[in-house]
Amino acid sequence: MSPKKRKSPEYQRPEMGPGSESAHSSLRQILALGKAAWEIDDFKGAYEHFRVVLDEHPQFADVHNKAGLCLAMMGDMDGALHEFDAALELNDGYAEAHLNRAIVLNDLGRFEEASECFHRATALDTRDSAEFPSDLGNQLANSHARSGDLYLVANRPEEAAQEYAAAVAVRPRFADLRFKLAEAYMSLDRLDDARDHLEAILEMNPAFLDARVRLGALLHRLGDLAGARRQWERCAETDPEDRRVQAYLASLD
C-alpha cells in the first residue's frame, strides 16, 4: 500500500526578489512543472521542483504534502513523514496529509500510530463533507485549484480567482486555497476581498508566515504603513532571516 499518488524539464532556480510579482510568477511556474513531473511518475524531478518552492515559501502545507508523497514513492519513508509532519504543523486539519502519514506509518509497521492517523483523517473528512462526500469534495477543490494555477500561468487572474473561489467554497478550511485566492484578488486590485481571506487564514493559523507577509504588503498598498510594519515585525520575530521581510521593513525606514 502506498500513499495517494500520482521527466520533468530542467529548470534554473529563479531570483526571488522580496515580494516581487516576477518571483510569484516564477514560483507558480515551478510548481506547475513539479505537478507535471508528478503526473508522469518522475518523482525525483517533482520533488526537486517542490523543494525550490518550499525553500522560499515553507508555509505551503499542500506543497509539503506533495513533497512527502514524492519521497514516499522514492522509498524515503522518514523523509516523507518529515514533510507530512510539516504540513500538519501548518494545518492540523489537513485530512489528506493525515491519511498519507497513516499509510507510511502502516508500511513501517507502526500500526498503533497509523491507526490514530487513519481515525483523525476520517474524522476530518466527515467534518468537511457537509455538501460533498469527503474524497469527492477534496478532488473537486483541488481540481478547481489546479485550473486556477493554469489560468495564472496564462496570465488570466480573473478566471484564476473564479476557480480559486470555487475551490474555497468546497473546502473553506483549506488555508492554502484561500491564500491562492487572496493572491489572485491582489493581482486584480480587489484588496478588500484579499484582506478578508488573508485575515481568515491567520485566524485559522497565525503561523502562516506567507499570509502575514502578504497582508503587510496589502496594508502598505492601502496606505496603512503602521499596520504593514506590525505585520512584518511579527514575521521578523518568527523568521529573522527572511530576506523578504528584511527588505519590506527597510523600505519603511
CATH number, domain containing residue 55: 1.25.40.10
Residue 44, Cβ neighbours under 10 Å: how many? 13
Same domain assignment for residues 25 and 81: yes
Spatial separation of the C-alpha atoms in residues 241 and 224, rounded to whole Å? 24
The distance in angstroms from the start CA to the end CA of the chain is 55
Last residue of a domain, one of 128, 145, 176: 128
Local confidence band at 134 (pLDDT 50, 70, 90 cut-offs): low
What does the pLDDT read at residue 229? Answer: 95
Whether residue 64 sits in one domain with residue 30: yes
The per-residue DSSP string of 44-88 comes to HHHHHHHHHHHHH-TT-HHHHHHHHHHHHHTT-HHHHHHHHHHHH
Query: Is residue 10 in a domain?
Result: no
Note down the domain range covering 91: 21-128
Residue 120 has pLDDT above 70, yes or no: yes
Please indicate, yes or no, whether residues 28 and 65 belong to a single structural domain of this protein.
Answer: yes
Average pLDDT over residues 200-228: 92
109 and 87 both lie in a single domain = yes
Helix axis angle, 175-187 relative to 61-73, nearest 10°?
A: 120
Q: Which of 9-18, 99-108, 222-231 has the highest mean pLDDT?
A: 222-231
Nearest to 193 by CA among 177, 208, 209, 178: 178
pLDDT bracket for residue 199 (50, 70, 90) = very high
Half-sphere exposure of 177 (CA within 13 A, CB side): 24
Is the pLDDT at 221 greater than 70? The verdict is yes
Please tell me the distance from the alpha carbon of residue 74 to that of residue 252, in angstroms, as a whole number.
46
Q: Is 6 among the domain residues? A: no
80, 148: one domain: no
Length of the chain: 253
List, for residues 14-40, the tens digit of each pLDDT value. Answer: 444 444 445 556 777 888 888 888 888
Which of 128, 155, 190 is the endpoint of a domain? 128
Name the pLDDT band for 128 (thresholds 50, 70, 90). Answer: low
Summarize pLDDT for 159-181 with one digit per residue, the tens: 999 999 998 988 888 888 999 99
Same domain (yes/no): 244, 142 = yes
**Co-location of 175 and 230 in the same domain:** yes
Residues 96 and 78 in one domain: yes
The pLDDT assigned to 6 comes to 38
Contact 19, 248 (CB under 8 A): yes
Q: Which of 88, 111, 128 is the last residue of a domain?
A: 128
Dist CA 133 CA 126 (whole Å): 8
Contact 91, 61 (CB under 8 A): yes
249 CB burial (10 A radius; 0-12, 13-18, 19+): middle
Q: How far is CA 236 from CA 178, 223, 231, 249, 250, in A?
A: 23, 21, 9, 9, 12
The pLDDT confidence band at residue 12, using thresholds 50, 70 and 90, is very low
User: CA angle 127-89-166, nearest 5°?
Assistant: 45
56-114 pLDDT, tens digit per residue, is 888 888 899 999 999 999 999 999 999 999 999 888 878 888 888 988 988 888 888 88
Q: Mind listing the pLDDT tens digit for each residue in 140-163?
A: 788 888 889 888 888 899 999 999
Q: What is the pLDDT of residue 9?
A: 38
CB 219 within 8 Å of CB 227: yes
| pLDDT band, residue 185 (cuts 50/70/90) | very high
- Asked whether the predicted pLDDT for residue 118 surpasses 60, the reply is yes
Domain total of the chain: 2
DSSP-derived letter for residue 132 is: S
d(CA 211, CA 201): 7
